[in-house]
Amino acid sequence: MSEITIKDIAVIAAQAADDKKAEDIDILNVEGLTVIADYFVICSANSDKQVKAVARAIDEELSKKGIEPKKIAGLDDAHWVLMDYSDVIIHIFQKREREYYDLERLWADAEKILREEK
């Protein structure tokens, strides 16, 4: 079995989000643009319940690979959940919050690895 790369972690997270019907899934390569991570995974959900389901699915899929988060924040109100996997940071937004924070604009210089639209 081959070693899981940082990019693989981002792709696994994006697939888990897609499996829970998250929308507008982006993987941004921010390596060299920031010291906080190499990849951001950004996606949208339609409700608190869906945000939590997406976060749970991502955590479960990565846990199966032996990958555990350093921190998960925002689950209580579930408008913006941030999952910190060191080199990969996952942002699960409700649509209004995603539009407000507009991380894709802030990281416009990042290479977009994957974008799925429903």
Domains of the chain: 6-116 (3.30.460.10)
**114 confidence band (pLDDT: 50, 70, 90):** low
Q: Where are the beta strands (DSSP E) in 1-118?
A: 23-29, 39-45, 71-73, 80-85, 88-94, 111-116
Whether residue 28 has pLDDT greater than 80: yes
pTM of the predicted protein model: 0.91
pLDDT in tens, 36-62: 999 999 999 999 999 999 999 999 999
Q: Each residue of 64-96: pLDDT tens digit?
A: 999 999 999 999 999 999 999 999 999 999 999
